[in-house]
Structure 1
Amino acid sequence: MAILSKIRERSMFLILVIGLALFAFVLDPSTISDFFNASKVNEIGEVNGETISRQEFAEALDAYKAQTGNRVSEMQAAKTVWNNLVRQKIYQTQLKEAGITVGDEDIFKAVCDNPSIQNDPRFQTSGIFDKNKLKEFLATIKEENGQTWKLWQNFMTSLQSGLEKTTYDNLVAAGLSASLKEGELQYLNENTKVNAKYVYVPYTSIADSLVTIKRSEVENYIKNHEGSFQVDASRDIRFVKFDIAATPEDEAAIKIELAKLLVDAKNDAGIEVKGLRNATDYAEFFEENESDLALNDNIQYKVQVPQIIADQIFEGKEGDTFGPYKDGEFFKLSKITEVAQMPDSAQASHILIPFIGASSAGADVTRTEDEAKKMADSLLTVVKANRSKFADLAKELSSDKGSAEKGGFYDWFPYNRMVPAFRDFVFEGKEGDMGVVRTPFGFHVIKVDGQKNFQPVVKLATFGRKIEASEETENNIFQNAETFAQELSKGTKFDDAAKAKNLSSQPAVGLKALDENVPGVGNEREIITWAFGADVNEGDYKRFDVDGGYVVAVLTGKTEKGLMPVEKAINRVRPILLNEKKAELIEAKMNGANLDEIAKAAKQSVRNADNLNMQSPTISGVGYAPKAIGAMVNAKENELYNKVAGDRGVFAFVVTKRELPTKLDNYDTFRKRIANNRKNKTYQMYEAIKKASNIEDNVSSFYGIQ
């Protein structure tokens, strides 16, 4: 039903698009090309008046995906590419204004300085990097103008962007020094200590209910702090999810179906087929009966078998069957196909002889597979005749350098550490056995040096059927989602409809145009695209087919790009305004000519604080108080300061003692610290430039969101 639903939705969309296109063509065939060539269609953004075209963005997007091996999602790639293009154009503008250009010679030098280029044999003469060979190579691929040249262009563009950023950062950093006087002030500010007497009235002394915050006050605060309340366009939704999950009846049906596979039965053609109990060709049994689990033919220790029946399995014998039993997301049948005793760890030595094409074979390997086999067989003959030669031959001839240094020796290792052929020889053989084994790495001359902790092991054929909803259950869930959507079409409010059907609704707030994930649903880009549709208004709803079920969503809020709406900002602004108003109420009470009078008026006590400093701006009994301590450090001694609004309350104080730190002969250490701190703020520098730039971001239009 889910697939049919998607086809129905896509069909209507395609019919509409084709119909509009044909209608436009009938009116004027040129309108189609005019539409797709229109400047607004071909642009997705602008940085300081410089356009970023769809083509430029698309090419950069393809290059980035290729560079990352398509390991990032579409939207992640889009965001990264857009930010890279913006950064590139901002730095280019800044350098141009400074009269600096990153030219072809700079880029070529960066290419030549790249270690991967210098170490590439194609660009070397007698093992030494040859700049002329690189030039010849680039000239050749440029003339061919193929995919290779395009990749190199992307590489050099990336280098250019890095050079532009580094050049600008260095240019700015050169002017961000610091004076010795600044170093001295920093030293004094950090190390001056003060003792003070103070009166403190916390904001919590006034109940929130005694303070009224008006909507207009929140609105004015936002306008007066516009820089802190700029937001991108976003959408809010509420949704109900209808999960497609197997019912108890579905599970019972799966279990019955699986139980039938234990015994022999006749198929539709009347031919008798073996059940798992009598089957001997397990690969065929798994394939014919469409197991949802692959056949595992490996030896298994007790901790590796399904733990729900582990005890029964290891009390059983070869040929015993178990199940059907539920294990996680599957119902399973298991049959013991082999019982043995095996160590849980072993020691072994080996000599690895690789051949052309073997995994990890170096460029210097020239022997064929037959030649490698003959060499390994010869070595086996030698070491069987004289075991003492094994370590020396491994050091001399084994390509596994890690073990060769130790005479080919591997200390105790578990069953699953080595590749299967190597593992099987060591664990299924006996201590002292020697032989030749082929693996993807080449031919190994192996000597079993030790085995310990022998215990029972089994080979187990475990057939599985995933627990999934039946077609009937899926149809019922689809119908539930449809019925809920129909209730909304009748004008029933979303929350009322959910409550009436005892359904749980969830919010997803602040969805951005290029988001992919809907919290509570997962990666469902279609929902976000719908929410940003130009014709979708608050209160509109839609049913979506999602992974594992259906979602019915309603648009509950639209926030356009610009200043944050009061409703969105109130939770941030309200605590600030509360404290400001509480400070006014507290200050009105803190009257008096000295601390005792102020304390009496404010119904507080006079407190003492010693050794306060800005390196650790806390006051015992108050907590973090940088504003108050900053005021104390810079206050005059024995002078009253009143109505000082701090982070957590209002202070009145008198500094009773100021202890200056010992003077230093030189403040260069502090000067350097200030200078280095400034120079390390390249990210903040870029963000400041970006904030001052005129940037128009319409990347969402690339994905059909206007």
Structure 2
Amino acid sequence: MAVLEKIRSKMGLLASLIIGFALLAFVLSDFLTRGRSILGNNQFQIAEINGKKVQYQEFDQFVNQLSEVYKFNSGQANLNEEMVNSIREQSWQQLVDEYVLGDEYRAVGLSVSSKEVLDMVQGSEPHPYIRQLFTDPQTQVFNRAAVLQFIKSLEKETDPARKNYWLYIEGQIIHERYMAKYLNLIKKGLYVTSRQVQKEIDDNSRKVSFNFMAVNYSTIADTLIPVKLSEVKKYLKEHAKEFEQEASRDIEYVSFEITPSAEDFAEVKSWMEKNKEEFFTTEDVKQFVNMNSDVSFSEKYLKEEELMDSIKPLYKGKVGDHIGPYFANGTFYMARLTDIKTLPDSVKARHILIRPENNTKEAYDKAKAKADSLLVLLKKGADFAELARNNSADGSAREGGDLGWFREGQMVKPFSDACFSAKKGQPQIVETQFGFHIVEVTDRGKEVKKVQVAVLQRKVEASSATQQAIYQKASAFAGNNNTGEKFVATLKKQGITPMRATYLTDNMREVPGLPNSRELVRWAFKAKLNDISGVMELGDRFVVARLSQVREKGLPDAEQVKDQIAFLIRKEKKAQQIMQRLQQEINATPSLELLAQKESAKVDTVYDISFASYALPTAGFEPAVIAAATVSPVQKLTGPVKGNNGVFVLQVFAENTQELSRELVSTRLENNYLNRANYEPVNVLKKLANIKDMRSKFY
């Protein structure tokens, strides 16, 4: 409704556009000149980026700023753990962007002037963020006057949250302009050479069709190809770059689920039976539900198809009829028909919104007085549409306040309730969190029967006694199996397969499948190999874990990767054996069909393969085979070729060379470069920044 409402309601759409960008300072100069806190004590250091130490205090400022934005947008004073974790992660990305990109912007001399910012907000072509915020949802027309009105209102604003939120939006616009300028500089330096065009033509112009056979590596048993640890170490040394790793941990754990006992079910059922008569007969059913139900009383009136299947029979009943108690999906229910009305299925309305200038009592009194005076004018015959255009703070003012048709519940509750209970053509004042609305129902939809049903529900949950019993069981398991050897032996003896989580990193918020398990991740990085955790309560279960693998950053120990490397060594040895055998057979039998018959292999055929082809339809990813085929003469037996899955022999039987347009090829390559320029430069800069992430010390 009001601009403030629109900002809040559209934040979901903005989030995908805005929040992902760096939350830089709230003013232009702060973006490029933000000071770095130097505390000297490394215990407060949270990162090192481009050789610069970043202290916890600075990161915490990012977190606090973004937290206030979320609180303003959601209207909530507190944020849940999931949201706090999300904000911390976004703040980290923003901090990294400022250090990495801010340095780069300064190095190339980029700037964004205040004139540019003004033009993006109020110019003839406003920034998409601004256009999105101030576009009428009904007419899809951008309301430039609303932008100016909103900015002007900030001059008198006493609530810092609204000002900071707007400055935050400006900060995102500024950051995006910096990014656009920087990427444009890079794109202007990109071009496609004639040699690149010719290579692309050469790679794609010749297409071949060929027959091939393959001898799979699996035809030789692994047991026939022994691999020594010394070979593994030698291979690891020669291919060190390929095996560099980040620090990670593996755990295996046993879960003790916290589920209600038979006694817990019986207790809830007994309570429902004991209190059902009072629920069915009490005069103040709303208070009874609100005091005793898991879900508060709903005053909404529903059509038959909107009722839960289990209580639909009440639709044809009379006030006072009831159902239950009954059990479904872990919850006991009972319901009572409290009212029947004939109401419109939808209404058409218009309104004038008078929004207080700030959160003071004086501002609210002033807004209420203005709404009262406008209502008096309307009752004397004033034109509603004209008053809306001149006084309403909502985007619908442009349309004379018209909101069109809407169903019950589509608007905020006080507004919706007033509209669906009002008579046609009788304006009234309604107060919502957005201000004071003078609302008039201009038309009512088809009148239908609707019912109000009081539903009392109680979910069966594990009682304190049940939880304590499950905890004691988990605690006994942890105590009796306090070493890695005992843990593994007990599980094997009892036939229990533990759950496993692999490659946990120190900044993971939780173990996959275990909600709120950050402490388990932190434990894994503090513990020693084969340590057993204490009992941890994670969501709806208690967990006991064993640290089963430790990987430090850098080159792994040969023992950790011996299976992986042994597989590669065996593959190479098998390839050499098969290639040697096939070469001898080719020399003796230069026929693909006879060769396949001798190797008990089948001959496959593929068509129109070029050097740029990604894979073979019947053999998968085999770049070496594709390369060999595209340069092979027609009818010549080619091979053996060492592939990913086996050794191949092929024979091209047809080729087709097509003329490719140099202009089209050049354009395609250029577009590919331009697309990659949108993300690769930033990724490279971050990689070169040698970022050391130490957040796990604090969270």
TM-score range, shorter chain: 0.7 to 0.9
1:29 alignment counterpart: none
Residues 318/216 of structure 1: CA separation in 2 closer, same or farther (3 Å cut): farther
Give the distance between the partners of 2:663 and 2:338, measured in 1 at CA: 78
Residues 571/66 of structure 1: CA separation in 2 closer, same or farther (3 Å cut): farther
Name the SS of the counterpart of 2:476 in structure 1: helix
1:43 alignment counterpart: 45
- 1:700 matches 2:691: no
Name the SS of the counterpart of 2:446 in structure 1: strand
| 566-575 or 483-492, larger mean C-alpha shift | 566-575
CA contact (8 A) 2:635 2:653 kept: yes
Match runs of 1:370-519 below 5 Å: 370-379=372-381, 410=404, 414-417=407-410, 434-439=425-430, 440=432, 442-451=437-446, 454-455=448-449, 457-489=450-482, 493-498=486-491, 505-519=498-512
Instruction: Note the residue ranges of structure 2 that are not aligned, 5 or more in a row.
Output: 1-37, 72-78, 131-143, 359-366
Which amino acid is 2:108 matched to? I
| 520-529 or 610-619, larger mean C-alpha shift | 610-619
1:558 alignment counterpart: 550
Give the distance between the partners of 1:572 and 1:166, measured in 2 at CA: 44
CA contact (8 A) 1:356 1:369 kept: no
Deviations 1:459-515 (A, max 9, x none): 222223332222321221222122222212488712444566786632222221111
Give the distance between the partners of 2:409 and 2:169, measured in 1 at CA: 41
1:438, CA displacement in angstroms? Answer: 4.1
Give the distance between the partners of 1:672 and 1:233, measured in 2 at CA: 43
1:451, CA displacement in angstroms? Answer: 1.2
1:186, CA displacement in angstroms? Answer: 0.8
1:606, CA displacement in angstroms? Answer: 6.5
Give the distance between the partners of 2:184 and 2:303, measured in 1 at CA: 61
Give the distance between the partners of 1:229 and 1:375, measured in 2 at CA: 79
- 1:528 matches 2:534: no
Which amino acid is 2:45 matched to? E
Name the SS of the counterpart of 1:541 in structure 2: coil
- 1:296 matches 2:272: no
1:308 alignment counterpart: 310
1:518, CA displacement in angstroms? Answer: 1.7
| 673-682 or 591-600, larger mean C-alpha shift | 591-600
Residues 290/685 of structure 1: CA separation in 2 closer, same or farther (3 Å cut): same
Residues 690/116 of structure 1: CA separation in 2 closer, same or farther (3 Å cut): same
CA contact (8 A) 1:246 1:473 kept: yes
Give the distance between the partners of 1:404 and 1:694, measured in 2 at CA: 53
2:18 alignment counterpart: none
1:296, CA displacement in angstroms? Answer: 1.6
1:225, CA displacement in angstroms? Answer: 3.3
Name the SS of the counterpart of 2:426 in structure 1: strand
- 1:676 matches 2:671: yes
CA contact (8 A) 1:590 1:599 kept: no
Residues 215/155 of structure 1: CA separation in 2 closer, same or farther (3 Å cut): farther
1:193, CA displacement in angstroms? Answer: 1.8
1:52 alignment counterpart: 54
CA contact (8 A) 1:236 1:511 kept: yes
CA contact (8 A) 1:354 1:372 kept: no
RMSD over aligned Cα atoms? 4.8
Give the distance between the partners of 2:241 and 2:104, measured in 1 at CA: 23
Give the distance between the partners of 1:340 and 1:156, measured in 2 at CA: 49
1:542, CA displacement in angstroms? Answer: 1.1
Which of residues 261, 283, 298 in structure 1 aligns to 2:286? 283
What fraction of aligned residue pairs are identical, expressed as a percent?
A: 25
CA contact (8 A) 2:247 2:505 kept: yes
Give the distance between the partners of 1:341 and 1:173, measured in 2 at CA: 65
| 435-444 or 624-633, larger mean C-alpha shift | 435-444
Give the distance between the partners of 1:349 and 1:148, measured in 2 at CA: 32
Which of residues 577, 580, 590 in structure 2 aligns to 1:585? 577
Name the SS of the counterpart of 1:232 in structure 2: coil
Name the SS of the counterpart of 1:331 in structure 2: strand
| 236-245 or 111-120, larger mean C-alpha shift | 111-120
Which of residues 115, 118, 131 in structure 1 aligns to 2:121? 115
Name the SS of the counterpart of 1:435 in structure 2: coil
1:49, CA displacement in angstroms? Answer: 3.3
Name the SS of the counterpart of 1:231 in structure 2: coil
Instruction: Note the residue ranges of structure 1 that are not aligned, 5 or more in a row.
Output: 1-35, 121-125, 139-145, 264-274, 360-364, 383-388
Match runs of 1:92-241 below 5 Å: 100-102=108-110, 106=112, 108=114, 111-112=117-118, 114-115=120-121, 169-196=183-210, 198-208=212-222, 210-241=224-255
Name the SS of the counterpart of 1:642 in structure 2: strand
Give the distance between the partners of 1:435 and 1:528, measured in 2 at CA: 62
Residues 222/114 of structure 1: CA separation in 2 closer, same or farther (3 Å cut): farther
1:201, CA displacement in angstroms? Answer: 2.9
Give the distance between the partners of 2:473 and 2:596, measured in 1 at CA: 67
CA contact (8 A) 1:487 1:497 kept: no
Residues 213/547 of structure 1: CA separation in 2 closer, same or farther (3 Å cut): same
Residues 110/558 of structure 1: CA separation in 2 closer, same or farther (3 Å cut): farther
Residues 503/648 of structure 1: CA separation in 2 closer, same or farther (3 Å cut): closer
Which amino acid is 1:115 matched to? V
Give the distance between the partners of 1:217 and 1:611, measured in 2 at CA: 41
Which amino acid is 1:246 matched to? P
Residues 226/87 of structure 1: CA separation in 2 closer, same or farther (3 Å cut): farther
2:532 alignment counterpart: 540
Deviations 1:278-308 (A, max 9, x none): 3112233335x53322112222333444433
Give the distance between the partners of 2:419 and 2:169, measured in 1 at CA: 48
Which amino acid is 1:286 matched to? V
CA contact (8 A) 1:403 1:410 kept: no
Match runs of 1:256-267 below 5 Å: 256-263=270-277
Give the distance between the partners of 1:108 and 1:101, measured in 2 at CA: 16
Residues 532/322 of structure 1: CA separation in 2 closer, same or farther (3 Å cut): same
Residues 303/636 of structure 1: CA separation in 2 closer, same or farther (3 Å cut): same
CA contact (8 A) 2:352 2:388 kept: no
CA contact (8 A) 2:201 2:665 kept: yes
Give the distance between the partners of 2:616 and 2:467, measured in 1 at CA: 63
Name the SS of the counterpart of 1:523 in structure 2: coil
Name the SS of the counterpart of 1:276 in structure 2: helix
CA contact (8 A) 1:333 1:463 kept: yes
Q: How many residues align?
A: 613
Residues 640/245 of structure 1: CA separation in 2 closer, same or farther (3 Å cut): closer
| 204-213 or 621-630, larger mean C-alpha shift | 204-213
Residues 161/334 of structure 1: CA separation in 2 closer, same or farther (3 Å cut): closer
Which amino acid is 2:582 matched to? M
CA contact (8 A) 1:484 1:497 kept: no
Deviations 1:673-704 (A, max 9, x none): 3233234334334444544554443333344x
1:310, CA displacement in angstroms? Answer: 2.9
Residues 110/529 of structure 1: CA separation in 2 closer, same or farther (3 Å cut): farther
CA contact (8 A) 1:351 1:397 kept: no
Give the distance between the partners of 2:486 and 2:224, measured in 1 at CA: 36
Which amino acid is 1:44 matched to? I
The TM-score with structure 1 as length reference comes to 0.72
Deviations 1:324-381 (A, max 9, x none): 22243432332222245556x34x443434445499xxxxx997221233244345xx
Name the SS of the counterpart of 1:595 in structure 2: coil
Residues 281/655 of structure 1: CA separation in 2 closer, same or farther (3 Å cut): closer
Give the distance between the partners of 1:147 and 1:355, measured in 2 at CA: 20
Residues 39/474 of structure 1: CA separation in 2 closer, same or farther (3 Å cut): closer
